[in-house]
Amino acid sequence: MRQILLITGGVMCAIALIVGSFTFYQANREELSLSSDLQYRTRVLADSLAESIKQLLMQGSRMAIQKTVDKIASNERITALWVFDSAGRVAAYSGTVSDVSGSALAIRAMDSNSSFSEFTRNGEERAYVFVNPIRQGERTIGALMVVEKADYIDEAIRSIWRENLLRLFLQLLLFAAVIFVLVRWVFFRSILKMVESLKAVRKGNSEIDAVPGTSFFEPLAGEISKVTMSLRQARHSASEEARMRLEKIDSPWTAERLKEFIKAYLKDRPIFVISNREPYVHNKVKNKIEWSVPAGGVVTALEPVMEACGGTWIAHGSGDADKATVDAEDKIAVPPEEPKYTLKRVWLTEKEINGYYTGLSNEALWPLCLMAHTRPLFRAEDWSEYKRVNAKFAKTLLDEIRHAKRPIVLVQDYHLALVPEMIKKVRPDALVALFWHIPWPSAAQFNICPWREELLFGMLGADLIGFHTQQYCNNFIDTVGNEVESRIDYERFSVFRGTHQTLIKPFPISIAFPGIAEGHGKLDKTVLTVLGIKSTYLVLGVDRLDYTKGILERFKGIEFLLDKHPEYSGNLTLLQIASPTRETVEKYREYAMRVTEEAVRINKKFGTKDWKPIVLEKRNYTHEALIHLYQHANVCLITSLHDGMNLVAKEFVAARRDEFGVLVLSQFTGASRDLKGALLINPYSAEETSEVLRIALTMPKAEQNKRMKTMRDSVRDYNIYRWSAELIKALSQLE
C-alpha cells in the first residue's frame, strides 16, 4: 500500500510541476501581450489627439480643448485625460483621477522632448500613464497625458491561474485514481499472482503449469516459468533417482521372479509386444531352413521378457523362409528349440518396406533422433507408407486382441509411433505403453520434422511412454510443450490431452543378468586362434554397422595410439565385430564400404606379415559366440556418437565372470549414466580415445576388479527383468 501511495504521490508531484511551469509561462505571455496591446492603443490615441489639440492650443481655445477632452475621456477605458500648456499648467482635464502629479510628468516630457509612459499602481487599482509633448515646429507648445485602466490585465492573469489550477486539481484527481487502480489491480495483482505461483512451485504444488502474467509481464512470466519448469524437472529427477536407489535394496530380479510378479500383478491379462524387428528370422540356407536371432537392441532386451511371461509378439516377417514356417494365422511358437510364446508375423510389400522402413524410419526418424550429423530425409511418399504400415500393424494387433479383456500392449520404438493412438481409439480398455529405444532430441531439433504434430499425437495415444534416461524424457516433454496443445503435469511428468493422460518416465533398459548374458562353460581358448589373433592385448568392438556407432572414430583412435605409442605395434589388435544392417539404405552401404577401406588403410600403414592392428568381422555372431569374445577382451571399446542406451556395454560387463577387463565407453551413450566403473571418452577426439585406451591397457588388476565389480552390481540390480517389471507396474498403476 505504501508503495502504491509513493508511486501515485510521485506521479502527481511531477504532473503539478509540469502544469505549474506551463501556467507561469502562459500568464507571463498573456501579461506581456495585454500590456503591449494597451501601450500601443494609448500611443495611437495620443498621437491622433495630439494633432487636433495642437491646432486648438495654437488658437488658444480652451473651451474647445475641454470639449474635445471630455468627448474622448468618455471612453470607458480612459481613466483621465490632461492637456497641459507649455508652462505645465492644466489647459483641460477630464476623468476620475485627480491626484496624479500630471504637471510634473508633463514638464518632464516637454523638457526631454520625448514621450514618456509608465504603469502605476494605487492599492488594487492599476493604470497606464502616457505623456506626449505637443510640438509646433521646433517649439513645444504643450503636452497631452492619457491615463488608461490596466486592472483588466491583472484580472486576466488571475483568471489564467485560477482556471489552470482548477484543471490541475481535476487532472490530479483523475490521474491519482487511474494510477491507483492500474498499479493496484494490474501490476500488483500480476506480481502477487506470480509470487503465489512461485511459492506454490517451491512448496511442490503440481497443479501449476506456467506462471501467469499479463501481456506486460509476459516475457518475465515466461522466463520465470522456464526456471520453475527446470526446478520441477530437477526435483523429479532427484525423486526418480531416489526411487531407483531405494528399490535397488531388493534382491535381484530373475526370469522366475518376473513371471511371479506378472502373475500376481496382471492376473490373467494377456501381454502383446509389437515391434518392427522379429525375434527369430527364418531363412533358406542351401536347401534347408535355418533360424537366427537378428542383431539389435530391441530383440536382445525383450526376448528374455517374453520368454519369462509368454504372450504374443507381433513383428514384420523379414526372412525369406518366414512364410513357410508359420501356420494359417501367420503364427509360430518360439524360441524354436523350446517354445514359450507366440510370434505373429506381419507381411509387408517391397513398396511398404521402402517407404516405411528404409525411408521414413531409417532415413528420417533415425538421423532426426540420433543427431550424428547425418541429415534426415523427409519424403512425403515415405510418410504415407509409414502411416499405412502403422495402420497395418495396428489392425493386426486389434484382430489379435478382439477377444482379450483389458490387454497389455507394449509398442516398441520409432517405427511404430502412430500405433498407440490407433489402438486406443478402438480399444480404450487396452493399456498401451510405447518404449522409445533411441534418444529423443531437443525440442528445437525435433522441430525440423514436417510431420511432428501427427507423430506426437500418435505417440501420446499411449498411456505410458518410456525412454532410457530422464534427459530424453525432459526433451520429449519440452517438445510436446512446444508443438502440441496439451496440459503438462511436471510433478508426475504426464501430458494431458483432453481427459487422456500419458505418463512419461525413464526406464533404463538392460539385459538378462544374472541369466543368459553371463554365459556358461569354460573360457573358449580357440575363438581368437580361429580369427588369427595372437596379440597380447585384445580390444573388442561389437556393433551393428551403423554410422552412429562411431566405428571410423574408433579406428582413428587406434591409429593415433599406434602412432604415439609404437610399443603396441605387433601386440595389440582391435577385433571389430560389425553386423551388416539396413543395407537397403544408401548411407549404410557407403558407411560399410568406408569402414572396410579404413581398416585396410590402417592395416597397410602398421601391419606386418603376421600381425594386423584391425581385424574386421562383418557378420552376425550368436550371443554365445559374442560372450566368449567379451571374456577374452582386455578392453571393450564403445565409441557411439549417440546411443539411446547401448547394450553391448552391459553385455560385456555381464560376461566378465572373472571380474576383470576395462570398459571404455562413449559419454554420449545412455549406458554412461548407469555404468559408473567405465572410463568415459568423447569419441570425436581420437587423441582422447587413444589416451584413455592406453590408461585402460595399463590399468592395474586391482583397479580393474574394483571398477568391474561396481558395474556388475549395477547391471545385476537393474536388469531386463526389473526393467520390464517397473514398466508394467507403472503402466498398470495408471488405471
- Least CB distance to ligand ADQ at residue 546 (A): 6
Using DSSP bridges, classify how beta strands 494-497 and 537-544 pair: parallel, antiparallel or unpaired: unpaired
Helix (H), strand (E) at residue 108 = helix 102-112
Of 147, 648, 681, 708, which one interacts with ligand ADQ (CB under 6 A)?
Answer: 648
Report, in Å, the least distance between residue 657 CB and ligand ADQ.
17
Q: Cβ closer to ligand ADQ: 579 or 603?
A: 579
| Part in contact with ligand ADQ (CB under 6 A); list of ranges 13-21, 177-185, 499-507, 642-650 | 642-650
Residue 677 contacts residue 708 (beta carbons within 8 Å):
yes
Q: Does 626 bind ligand ADQ (CB under 6 A)?
A: yes
CB 704 within 8 A of CB 571: no
Q: Which is nearer to ligand ADQ, 102 or 670 (CB)?
A: 670
Please identify which residue in 277, 424, 437, 612 interacts with ligand ADQ, judged by CB under 6 A: 437
- Chain positions 232 to 261 lying near ligand ADQ, rule: CB under 6 A, are none
Minimal distance in Å, beta carbon 214 to ligand ADQ?
46
Instruction: Give the nearer residue to ligand ADQ in terms of CB position, either 212 or 580.
Output: 580
Q: Which listed range, 295-303, 326-334, 377-385, 706-714, lies at the site for ligand ADQ (CB under 6 A)?
A: 295-303
Nearer to ligand ADQ, 56 or 675 (CB): 675
Q: Does 275 bind ligand ADQ (CB under 6 A)?
A: no
Query: What are the phi and psi torsion angles at 341 (to 5°)?
Result: -150, 175
> What DSSP assignment string belongs to 385-445?
HHHHHHHHHHHHHHHHTTT-SS-EEEEESGGGTTHHHHHHHH-TTSEEEEE--S----HHH
The answer to whether residue 544 forms part of the interface with ligand ADQ (CB under 6 A) is yes
DSSP 319: S
Counting contacts by CB under 6 A, is residue 620 touching ligand ADQ? yes
Measured from the CB atom, is 95 or 644 closer to ligand ADQ? 644
Query: Of the candidates 303, 643, 674, 726, which one interacts with ligand ADQ according to CB under 6 A?
Result: 643
**Within 10 A of 20 (CB to CB), how many other CB atoms are there?**
14
Nearer to ligand ADQ, 388 or 673 (CB): 673
Residues 461/421, Cβ–Cβ less than 8 Å:
yes
Instruction: Determine the interface stretch with ligand ADQ among 48-56, 106-114, 536-544, 551-559 (rule: CB under 6 A).
Output: 536-544
The residue assigned the cell 502373475 is 263
Q: Taking a C-beta distance cutoff of 8 angstroms, is the pair 689, 485 a contact?
A: no
Look up residue 9 and give its three cell numbers: 504521490
Cβ neighbors of 220 (< 8 A, separation 6 or more) are: 194, 213
In the list 80, 160, 208, 301, the residue contacting ligand ADQ (rule: CB under 6 A) is: 301
Q: Which residues of 349-373 are buried (b: 16+ CB within 10 A; e: fewer)?
A: eeebbbbbbbbbbbbbbbbbbbbbe
Respond yes or no on whether the N-terminal peptide bond of residue 580 is cis (omega within 30° of 0): no
Q: Which stretch binds ligand ADQ (CB under 6 A): 208-216, 568-576, 645-653, 711-719?
A: 645-653
- What are the start-end ranges of the H helices in 497-550? 526-530
Nearer to ligand ADQ, 577 or 615 (CB): 577
Q: Does 621 bind ligand ADQ (CB under 6 A)?
A: yes
Q: Is 651 a binder of ligand ADQ (CB under 6 A)?
A: yes
Interaction mask 336-375, ligand ADQ, x per CB under 6 A = ----------------------------------------
Q: How big is the site for ligand ADQ, counted in residues (CB under 6 A)?
A: 24
Which helix (H) or strand (E) covers residue 503, if one does? strand 500-506
Q: Which of 309, 305, 215 is nearest to 262 (CA)?
A: 309
* Residue 297 found at the interface with ligand ADQ (CB under 6 A): yes
- The window from 291-299, 356-364, 554-562, 711-719 that contacts ligand ADQ (CB under 6 A) reads 291-299
Instruction: Note whether 724 binds ligand ADQ by CB under 6 A.
Output: no
Q: Is 542 in the site for ligand ADQ (CB under 6 A)?
A: yes
631 lies in the site for ligand ADQ, by CB under 6 A = no
Stretch touching ligand ADQ by CB under 6 A, among 212-220, 398-406, 597-605, 618-626: 618-626
Nearer to ligand ADQ, 465 or 509 (CB): 509
Residue type, 670: G
- Burial of 536 (C-beta count, 10 Å sphere; 0-12/13-18/19+): exposed
| 304 is an interface residue for ligand ADQ by CB under 6 A | no
Q: Which of 466, 515, 519, 644 binds ligand ADQ (CB under 6 A)?
A: 644
Query: Residue 489 gets which letter from DSSP?
Result: E
The whole-angstrom separation of Cα 708 and Cα 678 is 8
Indicate whether 510 belongs to the interface with ligand ADQ (CB under 6 A). no
C-alpha distances out from residue 140 to 61, 64, 93, 118, 470, Å? 17, 20, 19, 21, 112
DSSP state of 611: B
Comparing CA positions, the residue from 455, 457, 459 lying closest to residue 434 is 459
Does position 543 interact with ligand ADQ (CB under 6 A)? The reply is yes
The correct pick among 410, 551, 647, 686 for binding ligand ADQ (CB under 6 A) is 647
Task: Kindly tell me which residue out of 348, 419, 503, 645 binds ligand ADQ, with binding defined by CB under 6 A.
Answer: 645
DSSP type of residue 657: T
Which of 8, 228, 469, 646 touches ligand ADQ (CB under 6 A)?
646
The reply on whether position 411 binds ligand ADQ by CB under 6 A is no
Cell of 186: 494490474
Half-sphere CA count of 515, side-chain side, radius 13 A: 28
275 vs 634, beta carbon nearer ligand ADQ: 275
Q: Among 84-92, 117-125, 298-306, 627-635, which window interacts with ligand ADQ (CB under 6 A)? A: 298-306
Q: How many helices (H) and strands (E) does the chain have?
A: 25, 23
What is the rounded (10 degree) CA torsion for 123, 127, 132, 133? -20
303 is a contact residue toward ligand ADQ (CB under 6 A): no
Cα–Cα distance, 547 to 683 (Å, whole number): 13
Question: Per CB under 6 A, which of residues 574..603 are in contact with ligand ADQ?
Answer: 577, 579
Q: Which residues bind ligand ADQ (CB under 6 A)?
A: 295-298, 300-301, 437-438, 509, 542-544, 577, 579, 620-621, 626, 643-648, 651
